[in-house]
Amino acid sequence: MAMTIDPGLVNSKAKKVHAVAPDTKIPPPPSSAMKRLTPSRLTDNDIAAVLAAYGLCVVGMWSVHGGVTKLTSGWSQAWTSITSLSGLLTSAIALLALVLVGRPLSLERRFGLDRMFVWHRILGDSMGLLLGVHVAAGTIAWASASGWINAIIDLTGRTSYMALAFVGSLLIGVVTISSLKSIRQKFSYETWYFIHMLAYVGMAVSFGHEIVVGSDLSGDNVARWFWVGLHVAVLTLMVFSRWGRTIRAFVRPLRITSIETVGHKTVAIEVSGKSLQHREGDAGQFCFVRPLKKGLWWQSHPFSMSAAPTKDRIRFTIKDRGEATHSITQLVKGTKVIVEGPFGVVTPDVLEGSKALFVVGGVGVAPVLAMVQRLVPDHEPIVLYRAHSEKDLVHFEELKAAVERLGGKILTLTGPTAKLAVKDPFSAKVLTAAIPDVAQRAVVLCGPDRLLHAARTGLKAAGVPVARIHSEHVWW
């Protein structure tokens, strides 16, 4: 299979390099556009200060209760001290992980939900490890006082609250193991998601032992109320921010106003409803979509908006890739859908006045088409559009018209990788030949992981600074 390709990609002749216009600004969106995103006022310093204070309080609590002294007071005391510290840190990290999935707007606007989900996963892994240390150290400490058999009996139920803590640890252990990449990929997303919910049950049932067993909280009123207060604050965030938003979206659902086939196994769905008047959003962002339809209402899937959002409509372009997306492509006009979002920080603002390059794979074209609609001619956008075959080039005419209106162009690259005319179409050599000013452009990548990885490597080698390469982070 040959490459269907603009001459530029493998031919270094025709290109001229333009200087970047320093004052290129994204124009304000038209009045029909969805309300503009309110930027987060959080600074890196604010976040560092809060995290440092939080860490100091947790470690300080352990230290004030003799944690440091016990470390040098014999093996048994040292293990007890390690048990306390690892227990406190396990819970402290779990609370941070919960804050991230509580989706507070100030953090989402600053970092994007995708990155927050990645951090949630890292914190979850760290919590699992610390819990392992906590359980091992606790068993050793207990056994050094009363023997192994008694330690096991006490810690699995004979001591008050420990039966629940034991069950909680088992649940969190199951979640940690099932979240290892090699194991996680054997499950469907939904199966993994519901297994991973067990971690929250594990945390809830372990709470009692945190307060009652051990000396850090049981013997210190201030520390205990601080700890309870932290849990209540995080629970409140979950109720109002996370679940509250789902409930608000549920009571004010949107409706499908049009659904049309736009490519091979791909449909464009427009949804509309009054609640869009109050939302804030921009091109490039994504939403969670939950159709209120038998078999689909219990799961939500992320989809990027494929047109700049307005106060009365959002469009998604969805490829049939699995069970849920297959059912979604079969929906009909009038179906109610719960749409949460928009989320994400890869919007036209990331271009910061530079000329734009979009590297797109398959249905990854959706957010790019939306973003191009918001640009000005100074951006001279180039879209490098990779697809398995020509019939997978979705929204091609619409994209071409939008890009050409801005004096830009599309370079298409179709066909199986093994049959392409060049071995690595994203190598620095090929990219520089096709786009001579590539190093001066701001780049947005949208597509499958492998494409993102290959394009990122080639772009960096071609001299594009990492800070000018933008993409959503893969969270699963």
Ligand X SMILES: Cc1cc2nc3c(=O)[nH]c(=O)nc-3n(C[C@H](O)[C@H](O)[C@H](O)COP(=O)(O)OP(=O)(O)OC[C@H]3O[C@@H](n4cnc5c(N)ncnc54)[C@H](O)[C@@H]3O)c2cc1C
Residue 285 engages ligand X in binding (rule: CB under 6 A):
no
Q: Is 146 in the site for ligand X (CB under 6 A)?
A: no
Q: How far is the C-alpha of 367 from the C-alpha of 310, rounded, in Å?
A: 14
Q: Is 322 in the site for ligand X (CB under 6 A)?
A: yes
Q: Does 287 bind ligand X (CB under 6 A)?
A: no
Closest Cα to residue 218, out of 57, 88, 92? 88
Given 304, 335, 432, 471, the residue binding ligand X (CB under 6 A): 304
Interaction of residue 476 with ligand X, rule CB under 6 A: yes
Decide if residue 194 touches ligand X (CB under 6 A): no
Supply the minimum distance, in Å, between the C-beta of residue 366 and ligand X: 4
Closer Cβ to ligand X, 142 or 316, answer by number = 316
Contact status: 317 vs ligand X (CB under 6 A): yes
Does the footprint of ligand X cover residue 191 (CB under 6 A)? no
Indicate whether 403 belongs to the interface with ligand X (CB under 6 A). Answer: no
Give the DSSP letter string of 131-149.
HHHHHHHHHHHHHHHH-HH
Closest approach of ligand X to the CB of residue 304, in Å: 4
**Could you give the C-alpha distances from 70 to 65, 74, 109, 141, in angstroms and in order?**
9, 7, 44, 12
Q: How far apart are CA 330 and CA 27, in angstroms?
A: 37
- List all residues 6 or more positions away from 5 whose beta carbon is below 8 Å from its beta carbon: 411, 412, 413, 414, 421
DSSP of 321-372 = -SHHHHHHHT--TT-EEEEEEEE-S-SGGGGTTS-EEEEEEGGGHHHHHHHH
Give the Cβ contact number of residue 129 at 10 Å. Answer: 13
Binding mask 90-129 for ligand X (x = CB under 6 A): ------------------------x---------------
User: Does 347 participate in binding ligand X (rule CB under 6 A)?
Assistant: no
For residue 468, what are the CA distances in angstroms to 26, 355, 441, 445, 457?
16, 11, 8, 11, 13
Residue of 301, 315, 355, 456 interacting with ligand X (CB under 6 A) = 301
Q: Which stretch binds ligand X (CB under 6 A): 102-110, 123-131, 318-326, 411-419?
A: 318-326
Q: Is 303 in the site for ligand X (CB under 6 A)?
A: yes
Q: Which two tokens stand for residue 256?
A: 């499908």
Residue type, 285: Q
Residue 117 Cβ vs ligand X, minimum distance, rounded to whole Å: 9
When binding is defined by CB under 6 A, the residue of 296, 366, 369, 442 that contacts ligand X is: 366
- Give the three-state DSSP class for 13: coil
188 binds ligand X (CB under 6 A): yes
Contacting residues toward ligand X, per CB under 6 A? 114, 188-189, 286, 301-304, 316-319, 321-325, 363, 366, 472, 476
